[in-house]
Amino acid sequence: MELTSPTDFAKDIVQSVQDYSLLAGRSLANLFRHPRYFADMMQQADLIGVGSLPIVVLTGTFTGAVLALNSAHTLERFGSLSLIGQLVSVGMVTELGPVLTGLMVAGRNSSGMASELGSMVVTEQIDAMRALGTDPTKKLITPRVISTIFMLFFLTIISDFVGLIGGGIVSSLMFGMDWHQYWSSAWQTLKFQDVFTGLLKPVLFGFIIATVGCYYGISARGGTQGVGRATTQAVVASSVLIIAVDFFATRLILSIFGYR
C-alpha cells in the first residue's frame, strides 16, 4: 500500500472541506436561480418524509417509552413520580426527538443519496446530465437538501409527539399514573426555548444529512467499490456531524436563553 505524505493528506482534507462548503453553499443559492425543480422536490419529500415515517414513529415511541421506564424507577425512589411527564417531555423535545430522528433519517437517506448519486457518477450519468445542459446541483442536490430540511422538521415533531405518547403509555400502564396528569405536566413544562431548540435542530440536521450524502455521492470514484465506500462514509460522517452540531447548537441556544 502506498503511503500518503502528511502534506498531501492535509491538502486532501482542505480540498474536501472546500468542495463540501462550495456544494453546500450552492445547494442553497440555487433556490434563488432558475430553473427550480419543484416536482423533484415533491418527489424527494415523498421518498424522504413518507418513506422514513415508519422508522421515525417506531423509534420515537420506544424512545419515549424507555425514557419513562428508566426515569420512573429513579423518580419513584424520591417520591416524585409525578415529574415523569416533564422529564419525558423536555428530554424528547429538546434532545432525543431531534437527534434520534436525525440519526434514523441519516442512516436511511444519507446513504441512499450517496449511493444513488455515486452510481450516477461512475456510470457517467452526471456527465451526461451536464452535457445535456442541466446543472446537476440544481436538478439533483438542491431538491434533496430542501426536501430533507423540510421533512425532517415535521418528522421530528411527529417523533416528539409519539415519544410523549409512548412515555404516557408506560407511565399509566406500568406505574399507574393518571393519563391527564401526565399529559398536562408534559405539556405545561415546555417553554419557548425548549420548542425553539427542538425545532431548530432538525433544520441543521436536515441540511447536514442531505449535503453530506450528496457530497460523498458526487465525489464517488472507483466503480461499485467506490460507491460502497461513499455510502458508508456518508452515514458515518453525517451521524458524527449531527452529534457534534447538536452539542454546539445546544451550547449556543443556552448562551442565548440561559439554563431553564
Q: In the complex, which residues of this chain contact other proteins (CB under 8 A)? A: 35, 119-120, 123-125, 127-135
Nearer of residues 125 and 181 to other proteins, judged by Cβ: 125
Nearer of residues 87 and 114 to other proteins, judged by Cβ: 114
Least distance from other proteins to the Cβ atom of residue 120, Å: 8
Least distance from other proteins to the Cβ atom of residue 123, Å: 6
158 CB-contact burial (10 Å; exposed 0-12 / middle 13-18 / buried 19+): middle
Nearer of residues 37 and 196 to other proteins, judged by Cβ: 37
Nearer of residues 222 and 243 to other proteins, judged by Cβ: 222
Nearer of residues 30 and 148 to other proteins, judged by Cβ: 30
User: Cell match 404516557: residue?
Assistant: 168
Least distance from other proteins to the Cβ atom of residue 119, Å: 8
Least distance from other proteins to the Cβ atom of residue 128, Å: 4
* Dihedral sign from CA coordinates of 105, 111, 116, 120: positive
Q: What are the angstrom distances between the C-alpha of 177 and each of 63, 88, 172?
A: 19, 14, 4
Of 248, 167, 144, nearest in space to 200 by CA: 248
Cell numbers at 258, concatenated: 440561559
Least distance from other proteins to the Cβ atom of residue 145, Å: 19
Nearer of residues 38 and 179 to other proteins, judged by Cβ: 38
Alpha helices in the chain (DSSP H): 6-29, 38-45, 51-77, 84-90, 97-105, 111-122, 125-131, 136, 142-175, 179-189, 192-218, 223-257
Least distance from other proteins to the Cβ atom of residue 46, Å: 15
Q: What are the angstrom distances between the C-alpha of 53 and each of 28, 98, 193, 209?
A: 25, 14, 26, 16
Question: What is the C-alpha to C-alpha distance for residues 206 and 202, in angstroms, rounded to an integer?
Answer: 6
For Cα atoms 95, 77, 179, give the angle at the middle one, nearest 5 degrees.
60
